[in-house]
Structure 1
């Protein structure tokens, strides 16, 4: 398993932004989006709206993925 972050672009609030996450987090995020019948951009926008200003978006996504997995 590679610990090297992979950069992908998403659209938030009409603007493209790049997010760097490790491949396993991208894979799980895509699965979660599919389970919720949401496009990945919509799920990332939800996570972005719920995160506090004290955390970066990539960190908020990692925590969201971890919490979702633990709740299963």
Structure 2
């Protein structure tokens, strides 16, 4: 899977900064910000404010990974619960 690095300027806490991320991460950020009803700048500001160390691009990548990993685990648990309830109903 090839995803080129794209550099974009974004305003974070009133300051313009450049962030370099692979296109897949930009797409993930757009999806997350839309789901939360916030702008991309607001989401990046939230991530920036919560990071302990490292650079902003790394913090964003970790945030996106954690977001989608959490969703995948929840979906798997939900599907597993459905399977168990269907088996119980058929017995």
**Given the alignment of the two structures, is residue 41 of structure 1 paired with residue 41 of structure 2, yes or no?**
yes
- Per-residue CA deviations over 1:24-61 (Å, capped at 9, x if unaligned) read 00000100000000000000000000001x21000000
Tell me the TM-score normalized by structure 2: 0.74
- Give the structure, 1 or 2, with the largest relative contact order (CA under 8 Å, sep 6 or more): 1
Assess if the C-alpha contact under 8 Å between 1:47 and 1:60 holds in 2: yes
Larger Rg: 2
* Structure 1: 4+ residue segments shifted above 4 A: none
Q: 2:29 and 2:13 mapped to 1: Cα distance?
A: 19
Gaps of 5+ in 2: 72-91
Map of 1:12 onto structure 2:
12
Tell me the TM-score normalized by structure 1: 0.93
Q: Which has the higher strand share?
A: 1
Aligned length: 71
